[in-house]
Amino acid sequence: MLAWALPLTLIVPNVWLDFTEHYTLLSCLNNIVTPMGIYLLVVSCCSKIGRTVLWSIPLMIYAAFQIVLMFLYGENIIAIDMFLNVATTNFGEATRLLGSLPAAILTVCAIYLPVIAGGIVMCKRKMRLDRAMMVRIRRLGVPILIAGVALYGACELTDSEYRAERQLFPLNVMYNTCKAVQRGVATSHFKDTSADFRFNAADTHPADAREVYVLIIGETSRADNWQLLGYDRPTNPRLSQRDDIIVYPKAVTQSNTTHKSVPLILSAATVENYDTAIYNSKGVLAAFNEAGYATAFISNQARNHSFIDHLGEEAQQVTFITADGREHLDSELLPVLQQRITEAKGKLFVVLHTYGNHFCYRDRYPRNHAFFTQDDNTDAERYNRSDLMNAYDNSIRETDLMLEAVITMLERCECPAAMLYFSDHGEDIFDDDRGRFLHSSPVPTYYQIHVPMLMWLSPQYVAEYPEQTAAAHAHSNCDVASNDAALPTMLALAGIRCDSVDYTRALASPSYIERPRIYLNDYNEAIPLARSGLRECDLQLLHNHQISHF
Ligand SMILES: [Zn+2]
């Protein structure tokens, strides 16, 4: 039984993927026949079946991970970014997510634990397959593998886009693991590879002036739940009372995953040159350093040795309020920001990296700020959508409160000051019959890419820099790639000129131009957004918001 159970349980993700992925018929057949042939031959090669099962545990882990993702996203293989997400996600976040996916966890346990238990028992009892059984399995495995090889050849010959390392499970996931390790190693050498990079930044504003600029990177906030952007619930009770907020309703992110979107925001690299430039370029904090600013990076996310840490550490003062190992509310960033503002007598640039509206939403605000109730059921299940949405909306009210507090702080400075806020990506919350939840899936959705983006300029800034102010207003209804616009916009606001920065990407520059929508896919390829895997319903939603997808 164990000799048959092992190949049959290992092939479960392959069968599932054949239904969810848009493979050709030949590719679907190859995705089952070739691995099945290999599994049967492996089982037939060693009489110590218990040992074979235990050696197969890494394959079962791949299969289990894949099945959990199918529950979560409904499609797609485990992406390179997914491995990097796991590596850069803090332990508590990961276990909380797994704990909220009971159906997925029960399913993988029901499939794989009995096989592993059987393997352990066979090993302990030193039981072996008899010779006749091994021959029977081999006689089945050989023709199946030959058929698999023939199918592979047919895929290569008939489909110019077929690549086994993208469509054959678990080869594709092994390939992605190697790529993730490669990228992780390259990231760890970032400080060496970017050491020689210079912006040659020059400040065109008066040298002795007091100026304060704050870039706030949101987390997992989606435009659809912002009252400022037309949502019908009061999620922005404070910002919606103001008449000095410039909103960019057509802001779309170029990546749906934190560990790629945030580096795109901070770094001089763009989607077009990301795969090489991200290792060799410095970020917006380094540019402000060169221009003579005091700089600070204040984060409410855990350190994770990713580009986010490296680019944040370019600041002169770096504060991770999570350094005590606990989770904090974003409002706890505010005293640190106030301290930086008080300390810096001249020019100051601060990046705030928030935890924003990340799952588990209910943990993003204090209990007495729960405006929308019920919000107690946090399991990642469709039947909890009402509670999840209440909690998510409460978390946006908390972001609204924090942004208002930052603006109040900047107003008190009574100097040219600006705040730019936008989220790294959005979120799926069981919005349609796809049943999608969270973000970072290999294929994005409308809800994961349409992000809230807004700017606030102090009255003193408006008075002293009318050209930039007019540009910021004039482009408010333009198509914006949020990641792409961040660095040039901050530099343009501060009047910092750098030869290598393209100011036609800066919202606060009169030369801003709209560009074709580009998306950075899992293989770090810059592809047209329309080819990123968005479905017809996603394109329709973009169209409803007058957002171009090409
Ligand atoms: Zn994120």
268-318 confidence digits (pLDDT tens)? 999 999 999 999 999 999 999 999 999 999 999 999 889 999 999 999 999
Query: Would the pLDDT of 59 be above 70?
Result: yes
Residues 521-545 pLDDT 10s: 989 999 999 999 999 999 999 999 9
The pLDDT of residue 5 is 93
168-177 burial code (b ≥16 CB/10 A, e <16): bbbbbbebbb
Cα(390) to ligand 1 centroid in Å equals: 20
Contact 420, 455 (CB under 8 A): yes
The pLDDT of residue 539 is 95
Cα(424) to ligand 1 centroid in Å equals: 5
Cα(220) to ligand 1 centroid in Å equals: 5
Cα(255) to ligand 1 centroid in Å equals: 9
Tell me the average pLDDT of the chain.
Answer: 94
Contacts for 267-276: CB closer than 8 Å, 24+ residues apart: 267/307, 267/311, 267/487, 268/197, 268/199, 268/487, 268/500, 268/501, 270/484, 270/505, 271/481, 271/483, 271/484, 271/518, 271/519, 271/520, 271/526, 272/518, 272/526, 274/520, 274/524, 274/526, 275/524, 275/525
Task: Please state the rounded mean pLDDT for residues 316-335.
Answer: 96
The pLDDT of residue 73 is 80
Query: Would the pLDDT of 468 be above 70?
Result: yes
Share of the chain above pLDDT 90, in %: 84
Cα(219) to ligand 1 centroid in Å equals: 5
Q: What is residue 89's three-state secondary structure? A: coil
CB-neighbour burial class of residue 546 (10 A; exposed 0-12, middle 13-18, buried 19+)? exposed
Least confident stretch, 30-39, 78-87, 517-526: 78-87
Query: Would the pLDDT of 28 be above 90?
Result: yes
Residue type, 44: S
- Which has the higher per-residue pLDDT, 381 or 35? 35
Task: Please state the rounded mean pLDDT for residues 195-211.
Answer: 96
Domain with CATH 3.40.720.10 in the chain: 209-544
The pLDDT of residue 74 is 82
Residues 95-145 pLDDT 10s: 777 777 888 899 999 999 999 999 999 999 988 888 998 999 999 999 999
Task: Please state the rounded mean pLDDT for residues 503-508.
Answer: 98
CB count in 10 Å sphere of residue 326: 9
Task: Please state the rounded mean pLDDT for residues 165-181.
Answer: 94
The pLDDT of residue 102 is 84
Cα(268) to ligand 1 centroid in Å equals: 19
257-270 burial code (b ≥16 CB/10 A, e <16): bbbbbbbbbbbbbb
Q: Is the peptide bond before 374 cis (omega within 30 degrees of 0)?
A: yes
Mapping DSSP onto H, E and C, the string for 453-517 reads EEEEECHHHHHHCHHHHHHHHHCCCCCEEHHHHHHHHHHHHHCEECCCCCHHHCCCCCCCCCCCC
C-alpha–C-alpha distance, residues 282 and 195, integer Å: 8
C-alpha–C-alpha distance, residues 538 and 549, integer Å: 10
Cα(396) to ligand 1 centroid in Å equals: 15
Cα(18) to ligand 1 centroid in Å equals: 29
Cα(250) to ligand 1 centroid in Å equals: 19
Cα(195) to ligand 1 centroid in Å equals: 27
Cα(467) to ligand 1 centroid in Å equals: 33
C-alpha–C-alpha distance, residues 447 and 425, integer Å: 9
Query: Would the pLDDT of 223 be above 80?
Result: yes
The pLDDT of residue 420 is 98
Query: Would the pLDDT of 87 be above 80?
Result: no
Contact 440, 85 (CB under 8 A): yes
C-alpha–C-alpha distance, residues 193 and 255, integer Å: 23
Query: Domain 209-544 class?
Result: alpha beta
Task: Please state the rounded mean pLDDT for residues 497-517.
Answer: 96
Q: What is residue 250's three-state secondary structure? A: coil
Cα(8) to ligand 1 centroid in Å equals: 37
The pLDDT of residue 72 is 81
Query: Would the pLDDT of 499 be above 80?
Result: yes
Contact 519, 253 (CB under 8 A): no
Task: Please state the rounded mean pLDDT for residues 75-94.
Answer: 78
The pLDDT of residue 1 is 87
Among 360, 325, 420, 438, CA closest to 68: 438
The pLDDT of residue 90 is 65
Query: Would the pLDDT of 227 be above 80?
Result: yes
Query: Would the pLDDT of 345 be above 70?
Result: yes
The pLDDT of residue 91 is 67
C-alpha–C-alpha distance, residues 506 and 484, integer Å: 9
Cα(257) to ligand 1 centroid in Å equals: 6
The pLDDT of residue 261 is 96
The pLDDT of residue 197 is 96
Cα(445) to ligand 1 centroid in Å equals: 15
C-alpha–C-alpha distance, residues 121 and 518, integer Å: 53
